[in-house]
Structure 1
Amino acid sequence: MQQDILKPVVVLIAWTLVMWVWMLATRLPALKAAGIDLTKLTGSKTGDADRALPPKANWPAHNYNHLMEQPTIFYAVAIVIALTGTGNGFNAWLAWGYVALRIVHSVFQATVNKVGPRFVLFVASTLCLVALTLHAAMAVFHG
């Protein structure tokens, strides 16, 4: 099994945990400042916090949620590539590209949050994911 591709997988998992800490460090003080007592909340939804808190306090949480979405496909395709023995070389570089772009996207969304540049970063990372998916399909169906 070629494991180079698993390194960016671990880095993105670690980055997701960094964003979780960032989310807590941003949101908990904002909740306190807004007079919201977490111990008294029952059944709240994400939109409730969006309405109660300043936008900038929500941005890290929004990004954390994004890291629970498309990256799940990345994790799956990276494992397929590793299991098919095609996880080194170009595929590893594509995986590092995906992770780097997602990290830049996270920092940008959690700080500046301009949609145009965020969209460009998202599309660029998605193109890496598309290439990885095609390579995984080639390895599985033509390997």
Structure 2
Amino acid sequence: MNFEPIHIFQPVTVLVFWTMLVLLQIPIRRFRAAFKGEVGPGDFRFGESARVPPHVSIPNRNYMNLLELPVLFYAGSVVAYVTHHVDHMLVLLAWVYVALRVAHSVVHLSYNHVIHRLVLFAISNVVLAGFWGRLAWTLWL
């Protein structure tokens, strides 16, 4: 396959769709909990009350995670593309970052082992810093 700068948007697109899948988990888990009588509408009046069980609130927290640091990934991808500084290394770092963020979500949304989650989150942040370091290097040289 030939390398094209637009390939930077493949991992971006995957992370966007993953974020949407996580977003979809919020109403699914809330409605299931409501049907079981675990929560009521008042439990969500001001966000999530203390009554909301963890298995219901975790997708919302994970969704918020996917809207925090990944913003820097999205911005960097656009900057790289617009300035014509996309290269193989940047695309590779983008794919690694997305894979780590998806893995972080899977752990968070399933068995939720804090240490596993922390390791994936920390490594993804190092990769994001490397992504921006690579981008800065290509922009300034």
TM, length-normalised to structure 2: 0.88
Q: State the shift of 1:35 in Å.
A: 4.5
- Report the CA distance shift for 1:140/1:104 in structure 2 as closer, same or farther (over 3 A): same
- Would you say 1:4 and 2:7 are equivalent positions? yes
Q: How does 1:1-143 map to 2 (within 5 A)?
A: 2-32=5-35, 33-37=37-41, 42=45, 44-46=46-48, 48=49, 51-142=50-141
Q: Tell me how far apart the structure 2 counterparts of residues 112 and 7 of structure 1 sit (CA, whole Å).
A: 28
Identity %: 31
Q: State the shift of 1:87 in Å.
A: 2.0
Post-superposition Cα deviations, 1:78-122, rounded to whole Å, max 9, x if no partner, equal 111222323231110110000011011101101111111101000
Counterpart amino acid of residue 106 in structure 1 = S
- Which of 1 and 2 has higher RCO (CA within 8 Å, sep 6+)? 1
Question: Structure 1: 5+ residue runs without aligned partners?
Answer: none
Question: Structure 2: 5+ residue runs without aligned partners?
Answer: none
Equivalences, count? 137
| CA RMSD across the alignment | 1.9
Is contact 1:81–1:139 with CA below 8 Å preserved after alignment?
Answer: no
Is contact 2:39–2:51 with CA below 8 Å preserved after alignment?
Answer: no
